[in-house]
DNA sequence: CTTGGTGTACTAGTACGAATAGTACACCAA
DNA sequence: TTGGTGTACTATTCGTACTAGTACACCAAG
């Protein structure tokens, strides 16, 4: 499977499934038109209840990450422009501000933070590149 | 006050108090040795129960953001090196990776993301500078 | 038309955390 | 002693996550 879930973590299990699949798609591990496992099948693999997986799939469909065709299955959606784009950018900005706050308490300078950011982004690009040849 | 809380948001109220105070300290709005309001006083101002504020103060003390002196009050702590530093950097890295994922769905390039990051960091530095003259 | 595999929609129940409310207590300075 | 502090405890309400089980609607293939 493309990700792991851990019921002991504070983040809800269904959210971990959502995040895991979103990350796999963004990385290119899953490509548009790829088929995802059935809710009961993925639930079996991950030792979860099928309702938990179904909740994750519904959230992913709401975010237009996947497309559901009743009676056929679920598929990775083609990239599309999102209606709530600006709203989501505001949330990203909030997250970045929190990173600045956290850096303060770790006694990192702004340059330290920028370097960390660039390093991780390059690592991300490399990972993505490996799946997009 | 240095921040706001909104019970309608999904993030717990006590966590909003924690984040708000941490941000005010990081920005220089609150400086080491500054005194914070008493739990019941802040609870009154924010329309919260005093137990909620107490929980926030306990969390802040655990993170060494403030110092509590029983019978006297709570004060902003002097900056100190934290024991769980590396653990917290791992969490920051996780957050940054999630930003990369989110950027993918917003059809932002890596350069777009880096620019956003730099812009917000500069804004943060400006805000901080205003309080540290 | 039937079958089997899909996602979906319910209900019921358990568990946990957040938050409020109220009370009592321990500490310390004036 | 007094008054202000943080702390500890119980009880209660509320919402969410999760499991479990069942039933249903849809669609392709036989």
CA of A42 to C1' of D19 (A): 16
The pLDDT of A34-45, averaged and rounded, is 94
3-class secondary structure for chain B?
CCCCCCCCCCCCHHHHHHHHHHHHHHHCCCCCCCEECCHHHHHHHHCCCHHHHHHHHHHHHHCCCEEEECCCEEEECCCCCCCCHHHHHHHHHHHHHHHHHHHHHCCCCHHHHHHHHHHHHHHHHHHHHHCCC
- A105/B81 touch (CB, cutoff 8 Å), yes or no: no
Q: Nearest-CA residue of chain B relative to A84?
A: B106
Pairing mode, strands B35-36 and B66-69:
unpaired
CA of B17 to C1' of C29 (A): 29
Task: State the pLDDT at residue B132.
Answer: 82
List A36's β-bridge partners, or say none.
A74
Which chain A residues are closer than 8 Å to B114 by Cβ? 117-118, 121
* pLDDT higher than threshold 80 for residue A133: no
Residue B84: closest CA among B62, B114, B109, B101: B62
- Residues within 7 Å (Cβ) of strand C: A 36-41, 50-51, 54, 57-58, 61, 68, 70-74; B 7, 12-15, 47-52, 55, 69-72
Task: State the pLDDT at residue A132.
Answer: 82
CB-CB neighbours of B30 under 10 Å: 21
Task: State the pLDDT at residue B71.
Answer: 86
Please state, in angstroms and rounded to a whole number, the distance separating the CA atoms of residues B101 and B108: 10
* pLDDT higher than threshold 80 for residue B133: no
* pLDDT higher than threshold 90 for residue B12: yes
Q: Looking at chain A from residue 33 to 62, which residues have their Cβ under 8 Å from any Cβ of chain B?
A: none
- A98/B26 touch (CB, cutoff 8 Å), yes or no: no
Q: Nearest-CA residue of chain A relative to B123?
A: A97
Interior angle at CA A20, CA A15 and CA A22, nearest 5: 95
Interior angle at CA B126, CA A99 and CA B14, nearest 5: 40
Nucleotide nearest to B11 (CA to C1'): C18
CA of A132 to C1' of C19 (A): 48
Q: Are B34 and B75 in contact (CB under 8 A)?
A: yes
CA of A76 to C1' of C25 (A): 60
Which chain B residues are closer than 8 Å to A28 by Cβ? none
Give pLDDT tens digits for A85-102: 999 999 999 999 999 999
Determine the protein residue whose CA lies at the shortest distance from the C1' of D16. Answer: A12
Give pLDDT tens digits for B51-102: 999 999 999 999 999 999 988 999 999 999 998 999 999 999 999 999 999 9
Mean pLDDT score across all residues of chain A = 94
Determine the protein residue whose CA lies at the shortest distance from the C1' of D27. Answer: A71
Please state, in angstroms and rounded to a whole number, the distance separating the CA atoms of residues B7 and A20: 29
The pLDDT of B34-42, averaged and rounded, is 95
Give pLDDT tens digits for A40-82: 999 999 999 999 999 999 999 999 999 999 888 999 999 999 9
- B19/A98 touch (CB, cutoff 8 Å), yes or no: yes
Which carries the bigger pLDDT value, residue A132 or residue B63? B63
List A76's β-bridge partners, or say none.
A66
The pLDDT of B104-132, averaged and rounded, is 96
Determine the protein residue whose CA lies at the shortest distance from the C1' of D4. Answer: B71
């Amino acid at each position: 499977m493309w990700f792991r879930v851990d019921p002991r973590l504070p983040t809800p299990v269904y959210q971990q499934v959502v995040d895991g699949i979103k990350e796999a798609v963004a990385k290119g591990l899953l490509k548009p038109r790829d088929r995802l496992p059935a809710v009961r099948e993925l639930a079996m693999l991950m030792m979860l209840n099928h309702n938990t997986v179904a909740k994750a799939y519904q959230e992913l469909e709401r975010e237009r990450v996947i497309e559901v065709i009743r009676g056929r299955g679920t598929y990775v959606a083609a990239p599309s422009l999102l209606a709530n784009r600006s709203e989501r950018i505001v949330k990203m900005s909030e997250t970045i501000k929190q990173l600045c706050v956290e850096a303060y308490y770790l006694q990192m300078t702004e340059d330290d933070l920028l370097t960390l950011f660039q390093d991780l982004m390059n690592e991300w690009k490399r990972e993505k590149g490996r799946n997009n040849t």
